[in-house]
């Protein structure tokens, strides 16, 4: 019942963005290059935070906009990216999503990612598998040479530019091709459904991957930092996510690169 209510509200949030584009007066620059926020990011987040507080009044929140960054704590914590793929949204790319995860005592227990343009709803409850629109999904069980590889390259840190593109080149040479979609949560869900064999990015925030991390684990895949260590839910980290064979092969490629 709780999870059904969460899904209902995430779908409503998707409806707030799928038929619209932000006008220039509604777009603002955040710190750094190509880092935008629109009135829609804020409106969607305010809506979701209000609705989730009605469902779980004592929950904490970790959400991208408006500095809502409470600690994960010992209870429930919603980890929310109101629009993942804001630049895509601004440029009418139709490849953005709402990402909402629920952690309990610091562990993910529920995750939902909704792409309102394709109406693809990815969900996972801990221990109960991963689903897209109600159908069970699984990560690829094949290797890189039989898969597409995706990467993200958000401009947080220009020192890393060569590194991520060197790794992307390496993945390109060992796979069927590389993709860069501009929404890490969608690319991660595509790992869960087997469309992407692997996804890599050097620095992401918990709201980019929290919900999708459970979806990938429940789809039989692996999601770690780029060196294979455990991801954080309370601070930024790198991400290497894939079906188990792609993940192992990509980890080896990464080690050979650095």
Per CB under 5 A, residues contacting Ca ion are 64, 81, 83-84, 208
**Residue nearer to ligand 2AM on the CB measure, 3 or 232:** 232
Considering CB distances under 5 to 8 angstroms, the limit depending on partner class, which of ligand 2AM, Ca ion, none binds residue 152? ligand 2AM
What are residue 178's DSSP bridge partners?
Answer: 149
**Residue nearer to ligand 2AM on the CB measure, 85 or 101:** 85
Considering CB distances under 5 to 8 angstroms, the limit depending on partner class, which of ligand 2AM, Ca ion, none binds residue 50? none
- Residues in Cβ contact with 172 at an 8 Å cutoff, skipping those fewer than 6 apart: 149, 178
Q: First and final CA of the chain: distance in angstroms?
A: 47
d(CA 122, CA 194): 13
C-alpha pair distances (Å), 157 with each of 15, 108, 216, 249: 33, 28, 26, 26
Residue numbers at the binding site for ligand 2AM (CB under 6 A) = 32, 34-35, 64, 81, 84-86, 152-156, 182-184, 201, 208
Considering CB distances under 5 to 8 angstroms, the limit depending on partner class, which of Ca ion, ligand 2AM, none binds residue 156? ligand 2AM
Diameter over CA atoms, the chain: 50
d(CA 141, CA 159): 34
In angstroms, what is the minimal distance from the CB of 182 to ligand 2AM? 5
In angstroms, what is the minimal distance from the CB of 62 to Ca ion? 12
Residue nearest to ligand 2AM as judged by C-beta position: 152
Question: What tokens appear for 257 in the block?
Answer: 């690169």
C-alpha pair distances (Å), 176 with each of 76, 189, 216, 249: 41, 19, 21, 14
Question: What tokens appear for 210 in the block?
Answer: 């929290």
In angstroms, what is the minimal distance from the CB of 34 to ligand 2AM? 5
In angstroms, what is the minimal distance from the CB of 224 to Ca ion? 19
**Residue nearer to ligand 2AM on the CB measure, 42 or 126:** 42
**Residue nearer to Ca ion on the CB measure, 84 or 249:** 84
In angstroms, what is the minimal distance from the CB of 84 to Ca ion? 4
d(CA 243, CA 135): 18
């Amino acid at each position: 019942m709780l999870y059904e209510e969460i899904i209902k509200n995430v779908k409503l949030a998707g409806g707030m963005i799928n038929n619209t584009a932000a006008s220039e007066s509604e777009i603002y620059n955040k710190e750094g290059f190509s880092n935008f926020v629109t009135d829609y990011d804020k409106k969607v987040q305010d809506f979701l935070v209000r609705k989730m507080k009605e469902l779980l009044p004592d929950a904490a929140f970790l959400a991208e906009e408006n500095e809502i960054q409470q600690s994960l704590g010992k209870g429930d914590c919603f980890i929310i990216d109101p629009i993942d793929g804001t630049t895509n949204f601004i440029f009418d790319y139709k490849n953005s999503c709402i990402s909402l995860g629920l952690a309990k005592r610091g562990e993910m227990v529920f995750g939902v990612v909704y792409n309102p343009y394709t109406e693809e709803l990815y969900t996972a409850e801990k221990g109960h598998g991963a689903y897209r629109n109600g159908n069970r999904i699984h990560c690829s069980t094949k290797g890189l040479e039989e898969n597409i590889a995706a990467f993200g390259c958000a401009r947080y840190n220009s020192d890393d530019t060569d590194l991520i593109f060197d790794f992307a080149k390496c993945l390109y040479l060992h796979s069927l091709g590389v993709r860069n979609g501009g929404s890490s949560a969608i690319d991660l869900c595509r790992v869960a459904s087997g469309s992407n064999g692997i996804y890599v990015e050097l620095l992401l925030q918990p709201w980019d991957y929290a919900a999708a991390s459970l979806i990938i684990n429940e789809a039989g895949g692996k999601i770690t930092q780029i060196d294979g260590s455990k991801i954080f839910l309370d601070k930024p980290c790198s991400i290497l996510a894939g079906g188990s064979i792609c993940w192992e092969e990509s980890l080896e490629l990464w080690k050979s690169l650095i």
